[in-house]
Amino acid sequence: EVQLVESGGGLVQPGGSLRLSCAASGFTFSSSWMHWVRQTPGKGLVWVSRITADGSGTIYADSVKGRFTISRDNAKNTVFLQMNRLRAEDTAVYFCVRGESLDYWGQGSLVTVSS
Amino acid sequence: SYVLTQAPSVSVAPGRTASITCGGDKIGSKSVHWYQQKPGQAPVKVIYHDSDRPSGIPERFSGSNSGDTATLTISGVEAGDEADYYCQVRDSNGDHWVFGGGTKLTVL
């Protein structure tokens, strides 16, 4: 069974940093692209970033480019999202998602940016 | 950037057919995916590549895509289908994933 479990969310002040992790199991992690998608409470889904299977290719939404960094550790079946210079508008539930076709989603981790 | 437009809400009586549309420039040339999200839960894919159903998704769910509109159709709507539905494509360069704003399906 495919499982994606996010962790690392919480409350952070504007300008601060946070690192999300997503532990994957039940599939060949090292062969899968991975994404982060976020959802502001009560609002829609917004794609944030993608990393290729071997970690050599990353891409970001314009709203987070230069502030967020996606990475992965295939030995530990884990993908990360390092979030720096956080803003109030980054407040959202962050989902870890598998595959080029976004076929499996984690349950999400809430990030709240507030003073 | 590529924009997908969905109506905020659709209402339908139980047993009837719900049609949820997703508009985009020449969306018929793209592969459209649909997700169902119930309150407090992660999204679940219900249609991929315009009209294919993942295993476990009832045959009541179907999709089509042509011109500037893609459509998710739910036949014989049940109370359990009440949820938010999102369409999604990859942009023209294929390097950004784009979601519609979502449609809330209410079963009367």
Residues B10-65: tens digit of each pLDDT: 999 999 999 999 999 999 999 999 999 999 999 999 999 999 999 999 999 999 99
Residue A67 CB coordination number (10 Å):
15
Give the one of A37, A44, A59 whose C-beta lies nearest to B95's C-beta. A59
Length of chain B: 108
Looking at residue A100, its pLDDT comes to 86
Shortest distance, CA B99 to any CA of chain A (angstroms):
6
Residues A50-101: tens digit of each pLDDT: 999 999 999 999 999 999 999 999 999 999 999 999 999 999 999 999 998 8
Phi, then psi, of B20 in degrees rounded to 5: -115, 120
The widest CA-to-CA distance across chain A, in whole angstroms, is: 40
Residues of A in contact with B48 (CB under 8 A): 101, 103
User: Mean pLDDT over residues B63-84, rounded?
Assistant: 97
Measured CA to CA, the distance from residue B21 to residue B4 in angstroms comes to 10
Looking at residue B93, its pLDDT comes to 80
- CB spacing of A59 vs B43 below 8 angstroms: no
Q: For residue A83, which of A58, A42, A113, A103 has the smallest C-alpha distance?
A: A113
